[in-house]
């Protein structure tokens, strides 16, 4: 099966690229190979023509760099540079002529610009010809015949077909210049920017190729430009119609012009990546990937919007006819139209370089009406058109809502919208300054809305366990439709990204702006620190779209005013904060209390052992064992904070009590709690308490209590048969008495400390959050 290969400027950057291309051509024995100019060379040649004709000597340095670029590649490839040098002298001669004349027209522009393809093809030919005699170099000026519309010439297919059949020997490996052609008088023409794709498609049609393969620096067609949207998804199959829609709206992967010869003869076009040849690329054909209804988001930059308002004096039909015929006469290309018939107003989008002409013709068409204030015109410059395309666009209910509500949240204004009844696309105009954010947001609201993007700050014991748990359970969560994705994790100085890269930060603002620019849809900050500073920044994170999940107790124990501000901030931004691991690590204490409240139950009393450390200490009290020795043992076993006084002072228990008390509506602060501090408790004092409890068949416990609007914690002697007496090891136990659980309280008991159980608390919050968001 004959295949046409086309190699674009994006993969013609250096000698290595050319070696890779040569390998592919030789390995596949591919017969028809079309080449664009080296990367950036067409732009460079246009600049040379412009400078030289304006008598600007900058053209000389441009010529020099053009020469150096090509000659360096020749020398890197070990190719004799004599011929290339001669071609470069011709380019120099033309530019000197333009300089002398101080003028250029489009035919001269085509003459000079076409040398880009001549140079690149010659280099490739010379390189391949070093090892093979079966290589042919073809200048497409000798076989692609066009009219004389310089810079965008129209092809005479019949003449081209017979010239190509005469000239191209498909027994050989042909290296053919893309983009360039000649008119009936032999004058060089070009097929329009990005025209090499078209050359490839024409040859595909002429030689009834089985496939046209366009080699690129990307692995295929993606759901958005992967250079803008880093998480764009590669499309495996896309229909000609869908691709045409994307190309019309600015997708550069394959030019619109190139699609038509392929469509007419049903020749599949495959987009493949030179740098990843194991990837099969994207197939553009009559078939599409049915499951993927929406294929992508694309944009046309540098457009202007003209709004023409008519105050209904003319009939709407007559008004539109006049507008379009005026614009049509001036040969201006209308890219998008949006009409509001009730007001007889119409918005027309044109390329920015055509806006002045468009305004001029409309002004002259409606001179009288404008003078009489029947018609008014206003113009918005610096616009871009964004389009979402795919075969299911027309019948995707809610799609526009999803797109526009996300743009609304990001304060991006839509200046005009267009969608047909059976359209393959929705297109709309936005300010160019918002373009990249807009494309990312739309992309992510369509393709990434099933994923919760987790930023973990704090990579200590808990943070590391959370990361491990998210990663090891990933598949399990995915099967349940929940995609928890870690987008970064940070210590106090640096953020590490999944790509292996990292960046240092000195303020949380830097982290926020780094991740906000990705414009993902669902963000969550997982605060695994005990930092007050990070908590002080929560509101900024929330304002920028983050939800919060945290085992850090500092946020819920801020002084009440600050705590309320945080709650309001969550409410205003419609974001969530989950904090199961604040109390009892993974034990479902917070969620149970929340559920009870949500059901209308009333919490009368909460009592329990809230500290794993203090639980361990009092569980190990027995005759003949000193309190201070048990504290030492707890420390040796890693059950205490690095400084055990942080546990003994009762502050950790106080925070937990305050968190629960606020949940059930107490408007109190830490200073309102009565907490027994054990830092200075002596062995004798504790033994005395232990002994007298023992004698009364009671057990000593450090118990927290929330009741009657107050919260406190102290050592209590509880009955030996009370649930609080039954704890072991580092257990937490919490007994909740409510309006409904009034005879026998609801009791939750289990391990209340440790990295893994805390991580469970965090991850269970993430799942709850995901179930709300997704
Ligand atoms: N949806 C998309 N999928 C893949 N690439 C895209 C998409 N939209 C824009 N691009 C851009 O198109 C570029 C390739 O086009 P171009 O530079 O014209 O290639 P060439 O010079 O090889 O013809 C890619 O590098 C990529 O940045
Ligand atoms: N070199 C021409 C033709 C072309 O098709 O190039 P590329 O394949 O790099 O888009 C241009 O830049 O317009």
Q: Whose CA is nearest to atom 17 of ligand 1?
A: 10
Output the pLDDT for position 591. Answer: 96
Residue 37 CA to residue 123 CA, distance in Å, equals: 11
This prediction has a pTM of 0.78
Q: Sign (positive/negative) of CA torsion 502, 503, 506, 508?
A: negative
Cβ of 179 less than 6 Å from ligand 2: yes
* Segment-wise mean pLDDT, segments of 10 residues, the chain, 774 residues: 97 98 97 98 98 96 97 96 96 97 94 98 98 96 98 97 97 98 97 97 98 98 94 95 94 94 97 97 93 90 93 71 90 88 79 95 91 90 95 74 79 85 83 94 84 94 94 91 94 95 97 91 95 97 96 96 98 97 94 96 97 94 92 87 89 96 97 97 95 95 97 96 92 96 94 87 96 90
How close is the Cα of 541 to the center of ligand 2, in Å?
Answer: 44
Cβ of 195 less than 6 Å from ligand 2: yes
CATH superfamily for 589-752 is: Dihydrodipicolinate Reductase; domain 2 (3.30.360.10)
How close is the Cα of 289 to the center of ligand 2, in Å?
Answer: 29
Task: Specify the DSSP element, H or E, that contains 573.
Answer: helix 560-573
The first and second tokens of residue 251, run together, are 């997708």
Residue 407 CA to residue 428 CA, distance in Å, equals: 12
Q: Mutate which of 124, 194, 253 to test ligand 2's pocket (most atoms within 8 Å of Cβ)?
A: 194
Output the pLDDT for position 223. Answer: 96
Domain coordinates in residue numbering, the chain: 3-217, 296-447, 451-583+762-773, 589-752
> Could you identify the atom of ligand 2 that is nearest to the CA of residue 9?
9
How close is the Cα of 10 to the center of ligand 1, in Å?
Answer: 8
Cβ of 222 less than 6 Å from ligand 1: yes
CATH number given to 451-583+762-773: 3.40.50.720
Beta-bridge partner residues of 173? 135
- For residue range 468-525, what is the model confidence (pLDDT) as tens digits? 999 999 999 988 889 999 999 999 999 999 989 999 999 999 999 999 888 888 999 9
The topology under which CATH files domain 3-217 is: Carbamate kinase (3.40.1160)
Cβ of 44 less than 6 Å from ligand 2: no
DSSP states along 510-542: HHHHHHHTT--S-EEEEE-S--HHHHHTHHHHH
Could you tell me if 377 and 363 are in contact, meaning their C-beta atoms sit under 8 angstroms apart? yes
Output the pLDDT for position 238. Answer: 96
Q: Mutate which of 249, 252, 442 to test ligand 1's pocket (most atoms within 8 Å of Cβ)?
A: 252
Cβ of 196 less than 6 Å from ligand 2: yes
Q: Whose CA is nearest to atom 2 of ligand 2?
A: 194
The first and second tokens of residue 674, run together, are 């009565």
> Could you identify the atom of ligand 2 that is nearest to the CA of residue 37?
1
The first and second tokens of residue 61, run together, are 């340095």
Which residues are known to be catalytic?
656
Q: Sign (positive/negative) of CA torsion 332, 349, 179, 199?
A: negative
How close is the Cα of 518 to the center of ligand 2, in Å?
Answer: 30
Cβ of 718 less than 6 Å from ligand 1: no
Q: Whose CA is nearest to atom 6 of ligand 2?
A: 194
Coil, strand or helix at 151: coil
Output the pLDDT for position 708. Answer: 97
- CATH class of the domain defined by 296-447: alpha beta
Q: Sign (positive/negative) of CA torsion 475, 479, 485, 491?
A: negative
ipTM of the shown complex: 0.98
Cβ of 296 less than 6 Å from ligand 1: yes
> Could you identify the atom of ligand 1 that is nearest to the CA of residue 271?
4
Do the bridges between strand 3-7 and strand 32-35 make them parallel or antiparallel, or are there none, so unpaired? parallel
Residue 56 CA to residue 79 CA, distance in Å, equals: 33
Q: Mutate which of 49, 193, 213 to test ligand 2's pocket (most atoms within 8 Å of Cβ)?
A: 193
Residue 234 CA to residue 377 CA, distance in Å, equals: 42
Which residue, among 66, 106, 107, 109, has the nearest Cα to 89 in the 3D structure?
66
């Amino acid at each position: 099966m004959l295949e046409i290969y086309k190699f674009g400027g994006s993969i013609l950057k250096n000698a290595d690229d050319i070696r890779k291309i040569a390998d592919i051509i030789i390995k596949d024995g591919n017969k028809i190979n079309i080449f664009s100019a080296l990367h950036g060379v067409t732009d460079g040649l246009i600049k040379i023509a412009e400078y030289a004709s304006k008598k600007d000597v900058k053209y000389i340095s441009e010529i020099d760099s053009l020469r150096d670029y090509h000659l360096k590649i020749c020398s890197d490839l070990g190719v004799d540079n004599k011929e290339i040098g001669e071609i470069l002298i011709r380019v120099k001669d033309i530019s000197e002529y333009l300089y002398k004349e101080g003028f250029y027209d489009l035919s001269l522009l085509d003459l000079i610009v076409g040398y880009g393809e001549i140079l690149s093809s010659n280099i490739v030919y010379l390189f391949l010809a070093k090892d093979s005699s079966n290589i042919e170099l073809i200048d497409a000026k000798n076989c692609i015949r066009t009219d004389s519309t310089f810079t965008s010439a129209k092809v005479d297919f019949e003449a081209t077909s017979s010239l190509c059949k005469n000239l191209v020997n498909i027994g050989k490996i042909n290296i053919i210049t893309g983009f360039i052609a000649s008119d009936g008088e032999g004058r060089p023409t070009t097929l329009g920017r990005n025209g090499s794709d078209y050359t490839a498609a024409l040859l595909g049609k002429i030689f009834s190729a089985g496939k046209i393969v366009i080699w690129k620096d990307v692995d295929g067609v993606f759901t958005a430009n992967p250079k803008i949207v880093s998480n764009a998804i590669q499309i495996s199959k896309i229909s000609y119609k869908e691709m045409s829609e994307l190309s019309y709206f600015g997708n550069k992967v394959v030019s619109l012009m190139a699609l038509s010869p392929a469509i007419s003869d049903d020749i599949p076009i495959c987009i493949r990546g030179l740098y990843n040849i194991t990837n099969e690329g994207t197939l553009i054909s009559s078939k599409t990937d049915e499951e993927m209804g929406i294929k992508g988001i694309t944009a046309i930059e540098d457009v202007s919007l003209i709004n023409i308002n008519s105050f209904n004096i003319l009939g709407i039909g007559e008004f539109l006819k006049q507008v379009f015929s005026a614009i049509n006469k001036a040969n201006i290309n209308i890219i998008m139209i949006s009409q509001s018939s009730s007001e007889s107003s119409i918005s027309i989008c044109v390329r920015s370089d055509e806006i002045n002409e468009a305004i001029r013709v409309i002004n002259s068409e409606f001179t009288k009406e404008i003078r009489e204030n029947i018609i008014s015109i206003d113009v918005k410059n610096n616009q871009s058109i964004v389009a979402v395309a795919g075969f299911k666009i027309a019948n995707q209910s809610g799609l526009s809502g999803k797109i526009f509500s996300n743009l609304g949240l990001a304060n991006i204004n839509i200046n005009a919208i267009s969608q047909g009844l059976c359209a393959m696309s929705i297109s709309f105009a936005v300010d160019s300054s918002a373009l990249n954010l807009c494309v990312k947001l739309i992309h992510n609201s369509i393709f990434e809305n099933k994923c919760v993007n987790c930023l973990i700050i704090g990579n200590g014991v808990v943070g590391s366990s959370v990361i491990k748990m998210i990663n090891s359970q990933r598949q399990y969560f995915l099967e349940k439709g929940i995609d928890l994705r870690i987008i970064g994790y940070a210590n106090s100085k640096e953020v590490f990204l999944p790509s292996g890269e990292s960046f240092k930060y000195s303020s949380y603002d830097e982290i926020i702006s780094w991740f906000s620019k990705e414009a993902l849809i669902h963000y969550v900050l997982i605060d695994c620190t005990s930092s007050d500073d990070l908590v002080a920044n929560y509101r900024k994170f929330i304002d920028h779209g983050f939800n919060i999940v945290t085992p850090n107790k500092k946020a819920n124990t801020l002084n009440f005013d600050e705590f309320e501000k945080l709650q309001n901030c969550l409410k205003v931004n419609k974001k969530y904060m989950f904090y199961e691991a604040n109390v009892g690590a993974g034990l479902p204490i917070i969620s149970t209390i929340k559920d009870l409240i949500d059901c209308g139950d009333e919490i009368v009393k909460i009592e329990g052992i809230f500290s794993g450390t203090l639980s361990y200490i009092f569980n190990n009290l027995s005759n003949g064992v000193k309190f201070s020795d048990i504290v030492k043992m707890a420390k040796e076993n890693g059950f205490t904070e690095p400084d055990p006084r942080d546990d003994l002072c009762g502050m950790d228990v106080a925070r937990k009590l305050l968190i629960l008390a606020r949940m059930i509506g107490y408007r109190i602060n830490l200073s309102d709690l009565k907490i027994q501090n054990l830092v200075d408790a002596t062995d004798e004092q504790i033994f005395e308490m232990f002994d007298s409890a023992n004698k009364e068949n009671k057990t000593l416990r450090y118990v927290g209590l929330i009741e009657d609007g107050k919260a406190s914690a102290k050592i209590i002697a509880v009955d030996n048969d009370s649930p609080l007496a039954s704890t072991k090891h580092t257990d937490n136990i919490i007994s909740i008495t409510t309006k409904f659980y009034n005879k026998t309280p609801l009791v939750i008991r289990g391990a209340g400390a440790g990295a893994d159980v805390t991580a469970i608390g965090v991850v269970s919050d993430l799942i709850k959050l995901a179930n709300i968001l997704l």
